[in-house]
Amino acid sequence: MNAALARVLDDVRRSDPPGAVADYIPQLAHVDPDRFGIATVSVAGHSYGAGDHRTPFTIQSISKPFVYALALQTLGIEAVGERIGVEPSGEAFNGISFDAQGRPENPLINAGAIVCTSLIPAADGAERFAAIRAGLSRFAGRELELDDAVYLSEAATGFRNLALAALARSTDALRTTVEDALDPYFRQCSLLVDAHDVAVMGATLASGGVNPVTGERVISEPVARQVLSVMAGCGMYDRSGAWLCTVGIPAKSGVGGGIVAASPGEYGIGVFSPPLDDAGNSSRGVAALQQLSDEFGLHMLSRPLTAVTALAGIDVDPASGRVTLRLRGEVDFVATEQLVHEILSTGQVRIGTAVTVDLTNATRLAPVARYLLTQMQHDLGYGVRVEILDPSGLLG
């Protein structure tokens, strides 16, 4: 995997997509434009990397989906939705984008992110930043440090963000003081990460909220799903539609040159390359993730033409006639439907036959699979009696 990632970096360097380092934050204008790294972390906690994947950079807007996750986890999806929308803005990341209710269009543009930061419960801005820093550190699996120089640079030049915060205050989306929202927002954007940290953060979302490196549950599965959904539709600013078509996995970029991406149930990806395209996304990062998606089949709407079976085998007891069907891995609707047809088409099942569904080697049941298996126990029909062997309690 390391060799494959290195090859992607080489290919993208040769193609040399155009881009320029962000200079509207003075401190960011000094970063080395030649830095380029990529890292992946699987939901099993295995890490891979190539290039400058351990070079620190400021997280910037990559922080937005993770602060959104902290707000959702603390206040609930409905309460956060009363203050921030989930629709693509079609505007630049610092655009004036408020809906008819006065809410910022989504939490991944600046207006929405400032409001989102303000939703983290705290007595003041300093306490709010401490809570955000602790939460983002749990996503990354290590304590994240603040780049004071970048923070001071952002705070000294963030006049447009000041205007956006004032507008949000005027619509009642922002209900703290402007200072208590903006100062922790500038600080959260100035936390230092590397591509490996970002990949761990993406993998935490990809694994349903559990950090695969530390094993800690950081957020609930419904919150992780909500965050990934918003990232899929809004994460790459006004290129989000093109991104969804060409790459097809939830992602979020930052003007520091980083991109976080998450392939649900598989792995997180972190990319770092400072030059940005005209939409504010890392130009080399976008090219690298497009190539990875094409070569590794990452697009979330791509599915194998032939379903992978969860049926590991069928055993028949010659003495009793009992039929045992052994399942493995994740069991979803397709697997459960196949199971029913296997039971009824084995040629071994007769009226009154006992059938055992063995879940010993299954790792997860989708909600629809739990429902269908429970119904099978009650009445499959044809006089077939179904028993389920469930040593891990997957049926709940």
**Does residue 64 contact residue 72 with C-beta atoms inside 8 Å?**
no
Does 154 show up as a binding residue in the annotation? yes
Catalytic residue among 43, 67, 247, 255: 255
Handedness of CA 298, 300, 306, 307 (dihedral sign): positive
Catalytic residue among 61, 97, 153, 190: 61
Q: How far is CA 395 from CA 311, 315, 355, in A?
A: 17, 22, 17
Tokens read off for 277: 């395209």
* 3-state SS, residue 293: helix
Catalytic residue among 48, 68, 151, 237: 237
**185 noted as active-site residue:** yes
Give strand ranges (E) for 232-285.
251-253, 258-263, 267-272
**63 noted as active-site residue:** no
**61 noted as active-site residue:** yes
Q: Give the contacts of 115 (CB within 8 A, at least 6 positions apart).
A: 83, 84, 103, 104, 107, 168, 173, 174, 181
Catalytic residue among 42, 47, 63, 64: 64
Does 61 show up as a binding residue in the annotation? yes
29: DSSP letter: G
Does 48 show up as a binding residue in the annotation? no
Does 110 show up as a binding residue in the annotation? yes
For residue 111, the one-letter residue type is A
92: DSSP letter: -
Q: Which helix H or strand E contains 339, and what residues bound it?
A: helix 333-345
Does 2 show up as a binding residue in the annotation? no
For residue 395, the one-letter residue type is L
Half-sphere exposure of residue 351, counting CA atoms within 13 Å on the CB side?
Answer: 1
Tell me how long the chain is.
396
Long-range own/partner contacts, residues 314-322 (CB < 8 A, 24 or more apart): 314/342, 314/346, 316/346, 316/348, 320/354, 321/348, 321/350, 321/353, 321/354, 322/353, 322/354, 322/355, 322/356
> With b meaning 16 or more CB within 10 Å and e meaning fewer, what string describes 226-262?
bbbebbbbbbbbbbbeebbeebbbbbbbbbbbbbbbb
**382 noted as active-site residue:** no
Does 281 show up as a binding residue in the annotation? no
Does 271 show up as a binding residue in the annotation? no
Of 47, 129, 108, nearest to 259 by C-alpha is: 108
Q: How far apart are CA 228 and CA 74, in angstroms?
A: 17
**64 noted as active-site residue:** yes
Known binding-site positions for substrate = 61, 110, 154, 161, 185, 237, 255
**Which are the catalytic amino acids?**
61, 64, 185, 237, 255
